[in-house]
Each structure stands twice: as structure tokens, then as C-alpha cells.
Amino acid sequence: MFAIKVRNFIRYSAYLLILGLHALIPLSASAGVVMYGTRIIYPAGTEFVTARFANHDRAPNLMQVWVDDGKGVPPTNAEETPFFVAPPLFRINAGSEQTVRIIFNSAAAALPADRETLFWLNFLQIPPNSALSQQSGTARITISFLNQVKLIYRPSGIKGDVGDLAKNIRFGIRKEKGDYWLEASNQTGYYATFMEDAAVKSGNDTHPVKFDKNVTLAPFSSISWKLSGHEPISSPSTVEFSLIDDRGNARMSKADISL
């Protein structure tokens, strides 16, 4: 499998470190170290899972890797997350790869047995300082890239098969102040991640779904998205959508809508 950076599913941030002070700023540049795949599934009872990184830069990088609930800040103690990473800090040379192990500590947390729990794998790329800036003794700007990838803990007690996830999402339509909204209800213990290409078909009309980056539907929960256009939604209506599977591939589906 080739290395992919998928912007819809990996959240990017950058830290600006100036004279010991740091601030979080958006950055359009891409980091040179990428991870193979776009998500990690951790089945209950597994001794460990792995994540593999590749350095596409022409220089080595220092990497720090950890798991959290989305804060993007390394935990200060082991109790903050039930996962630990080995090695958590390493150097990755230009053009080389590095594999890390992600290990679940079952004694550290009592997670729900009937549904998945979402965590985030963070990998912070710290590029080397240039020799010129080191020798000059002047103020230096070091830009570090923080990437976050979904890490989903999957207990063995979830009812149903993840392959049937799309069949177990119920859709409905509601009208609010002249706008139409698509409502989705997840009847399963699995997380559903949508591609931002869904549309409602009603007669000869097509209403694209406005996800606004809100593409994750948690287990046993509901969510609503605004539809484009103001034409009435009539029966029968259907929704065409894509869910991301465990391998990061988009799977097209079609479902009837309850009006």
C-alpha cells in the first residue's frame, strides 16, 4: 500500500517556535514525513498494532509520536491515555522508513464494550536546524508539523458486522426556516466517516449535502446536514453517499429516505 496524505481525514497544524515562545498557526506547506494509511483500527485483545512512516525529505527529521483524545498535546503522564507508543521519539533519515508499535494498556481505562472509542494518533515532525542558523547565534524560527490520524479502538462485543455499517444508517428529512436538512442516525456501535460527496435525489432534483467538514457520525448518535437548494423534497427520495472503510477506501452506498 502506498503512502497517502488525505487532507479530508488527517488534520494539519503547525507550531511556530520563536525564542522559546510558541503559537499555533495554520500552514499551507506540507510536512515531508507521511504515514502509510489514513486511519488505524485497534481490535480488542490485540497485543499491538503498527504505524509506518516514510521520510520524503532530503534531510533527517526528529519525530515524536503519541496517542490522545484530539488535544494534539503530548500527555504528561501515563494516565491520560490508555495507549503508549514504542518508540515515542526517534530520528528518521532522508528517504527511510520507521515502524512504531501502538500498545493498549487495558488496565489504564475501562472503555465501552458495545461501541468503538475514538482516539487520535499524533506525529510531530521536527526538522533539523540549518547549520547557518546554528552558527549565527541569532533568533531562529523552527516550524514543526503536527499531523493527526484517527485511531479507533474496536471492542469484540459490538453487535453486527462493520461491513454492514452503511445498511444500518437511517436517513430522514426535516425542514427548518425554509431550509431542508438531511438527518442521519447511526444504529450501530461503529464510527461512520462520510466522504463529502453525498447528494439527495428527489424526482429530477439533486441536492448536494453540505457537510462543512462534519463528516464523522459516532456510534448510536445522530447528525444533521444542510442541503443545497430550496426545492421541496418529495417521496420517494434517496441519498447517495460514501463511507470510508477500515483500509481508508471509499465505499459507495444508496439508501431510502424517510419523509
Alpha-carbon distances, residue 20 vs 17, 27, 138 (angstroms): 6, 19, 13
Residue ranges of domains in the chain: 11-154, 162-258
**Whole-angstrom Cα distance, residue 14 to residue 143?**
7
pLDDT of residue 229: 79
Mean pLDDT per segment of 10 residues, for the chain of length 259 residues?
34 37 38 90 96 94 94 78 94 96 85 96 83 52 84 96 97 91 97 94 92 93 91 88 95 93
Question: 76: which 3 cell numbers?
Answer: 504528561
**Whole-angstrom Cα distance, residue 19 to residue 17?**
7
Which of these, 94, 8, 10, 105, lies nearest to 57 by C-alpha position? 94
162-258 folds as Immunoglobulin-like (2.60.40)
Residues 6+ apart with CB under 8 A from 218: 118, 186, 191
DSSP codes joined into one string, 50-97: EEEEEE-SSS-EEEEEEEESS--S--SSGGG-SEEEESSEEEE-TT-E
- Do domains 11-154 and 162-258 share one topology? The answer is yes
Position 105, amino acid: N
What DSSP state is assigned to residue 207? Answer: E
Which of these, 216, 214, 169, lies nearest to 188 by C-alpha position? 169
Backbone angles phi, psi at 162, to 5 degrees: -60, -25
pLDDT of residue 238: 96
For the structural domain made of 11-154, what CATH number should be given? Answer: 2.60.40.10
Type and span of the H or E element at 62: strand 61-68
pLDDT of residue 259: 79
**Whole-angstrom Cα distance, residue 73 to residue 86?**
17
* Cβ proximity of 12 and 123 under 8 Å: no
pLDDT of residue 3: 34
